[in-house]
Amino acid sequence: MLLIFGIFLMPINIQNSYGNSVLLYTVHRVAGSGDVNTDTLRKERCFVHVQIDVYSAHHGAFHRNNPDKTFYPGDAFDYKTTTWKDGCGSFWQPCPIQSTNNNTVPNGPSCIKGVTYGSSSDSGTGVITPSYTAGSVSLSKRAIAEQYVCHRGDSGWSCGWNTVTASATQAVPMRLSNLTVDMWTVGEEFTESAGYTSRNLDESYYVWDAINVVHNPVYLFKNDMVGTIFVEYEKIHDPLILEDEFFCDAALCVNTMEISGFLPWTGTFDYGGGNTVFNATSLDDIGEHEIKYIARLYNIVPQIDEFTNTIDELVVEYEPIYESYVYPVLRDDGKVAFDDRIGYALHYFGNESTDANPDDTVGIHHDIFKHPVQKIETTLFA
């Protein structure tokens, strides 16, 4: 395997590409002339032909090119070159497939007259270097023959061999992925078993709330390149705990996630998308936290792009504010009021900010009707 100017060159027979290779590009060039016989010039017939065909390559059943016939870095194509002559002398020299300046794939030595290189037909696979960022790669092929030519001058006829050269170059267009990743939480909240949304109305969270981050990678032809192009994520979320995660490895996924203490949550995702549930598990985690995703885009094996995105989520202390009203339960059958049970009416005014929430003003009441009363403690004085 040879790596030259943006391509790995891998000799193969293009006929073995699972029988469904598609011809993407072709170029045919011809040089030379037919028989000439005049009083002053005689030429034998000599035409030199060069043709380059570029086909789709495959990874299993998947094409290694985009639907618009462009290629990402790390993609591959099959190629075949053919040279032939029509007439000409016995000298015939197909040159090796070569590179053009800075952007061709395979490469070979210069074609020197009298030294035989190459063959009449070459075939192989070009794998575009993952780090290659130019607008295209190209294949070039050249062939040389000799044409017998005679000129008549004042001293008579003078004859010899002239060189006839035909060259062809086929550009293979590339595009960059320009990967981005969207991240969001709003509208994707879990619901607690008691029926309360696992998020406050001001988009903050309490300790043990489910922080559900949904992500979706964006790059052209994403769902057309399933099986060859894929994203992997590095998630940095300290001190939040990663509770569970889902990654979609098909063109479309529907997944239901179950987290203890919450109702099942169902999401629909494109290829490479998914969701991750984080939570804060200690009062030491009060404050704003950055969740960072480093997305790396791969073309089967090599990495071809990278993108980083972050989202900030606020965890606040829960300090509920209630006004309580005590009353005797008059419907009880006690002989005196002291025998009746004591009832409580509670008015919930929301959550009071504390000095544990440095981003907020201490003492503000947030009118967030989220959590029910879980426990009532009674103290009696005689």
Q: How many CA atoms lie within 13 A of 45 on its CB side?
A: 5
Whether the predicted pLDDT of 17 surpasses 60: no
Residue 303 neighbours by CB under 8 Å, 6+ apart:
130, 296, 297
User: Exposure of 101 by Cβ count < 10 A (0-12 exposed, 13-18 middle, 19+ buried)?
Assistant: exposed
Give the chain's mean pLDDT. Answer: 82
Distance CA 107, CA 109 (A): 7
Task: Convert the pLDDT of each residue in 109-156 to its tens digit.
Answer: 566 565 555 567 778 888 888 887 778 888 888 899 999 999 998 888
Residue that wins the pLDDT comparison between 226 and 365: 226
Nearest-angstrom CA–CA distance, 211 and 226: 29
Q: Which residue has the higher pLDDT, 48 or 324?
A: 48
The arrangement of secondary structure in 180-315, i.e. its CATH architecture, is Sandwich (2.60)
Q: Where are the alpha helices (DSSP H) in 221-331?
A: none
Query: How are beta strands 2-4 and 92-94 bridged, if at all?
Result: unpaired
Mean pLDDT (whole number) for 353-358? 64
Q: Quote the CA–CA distance of 85 and 33 in Å, as a whole number.
A: 11
pLDDT band at 375 (very low <50, low <70, confident <90, very high): low
For 71-83, the pLDDT digits (tens) are 998 898 888 899 9
82-to-34, 51, 118, 171, 229 alpha-carbon distances in Å: 21, 5, 11, 17, 32
What is the C-alpha to C-alpha distance for residues 129 and 120, in angstroms, rounded to an integer?
27
pTM beyond cutoff 0.85: no
CA dihedral 298, 299, 303, 306 (to 10 degrees): -50
For the chain, the structural domain boundaries read: 2-173, 180-315, 320-366
Indicate the DSSP class of residue 224: G
pLDDT digit string (tens) for 174-219?
A: 899 999 999 999 999 999 988 889 988 888 898 999 999 999 999 9
Q: What is the C-alpha separation between 296 and 306, in angstroms, rounded? A: 4
